[in-house]
Amino acid sequence: MGMRRFHKPVRIQIGRIDRDRIVCGTEDAAKILLRAWPSTHNEKRQAAMRACLEVLKGQKPPSVARRAFIEAAQEARVLLDEDTRA
C-alpha cells in the first residue's frame, strides 16, 4: 500500500489541559488509540484500532483508518477539527 499517511491531518485534544495533537497518519492514530485514549471500552475505538491494523497490514487504504479514527474521536469528544470528511 505504500504511504500510510492521511491526506489531511486530524486534530484532537485528549485531556482538558493537554495540547492539541496533530494525527498525520495511521501509525500516529494507532499509538494514540492504544496508549492515550480517554475511554478504552467503546465500539468506535475498537473499530478504529481494527481499521488501523488493516491499513498497517496493507489491506485497506489510509482513508479507512482516518474515517474510523474521526468517528472514535467524535464519540470520545476529543475531535477538534471541524472538517471531518474522510
Buried b / exposed e over 13-34, threshold 16 CB at 10 Å, is ebeeeeeebebebbebbbebbe
pLDDT tens, position by position, 26-66? 999 999 999 999 987 899 999 999 999 999 999 999 999 99
Contact by Cβ (8 Å): 27, 4:
yes
Q: With pLDDT > 90 as the criterion, what percentage of the chain qualifies?
A: 77
Q: How far apart are CA 23 and CA 45, in angstroms?
A: 15
**Alpha-helical regions (H) of 1-86:** 26-35, 43-56, 62-76
Q: How far apart are CA 22 and CA 81, in angstroms?
A: 10
Question: pLDDT value at position 83?
Answer: 61
Assessment of whether the complete model's pTM goes beyond 0.75: yes
pLDDT tens, position by position, 67-77? 999 999 999 99
For residue 17 the three cell numbers come to 489541559
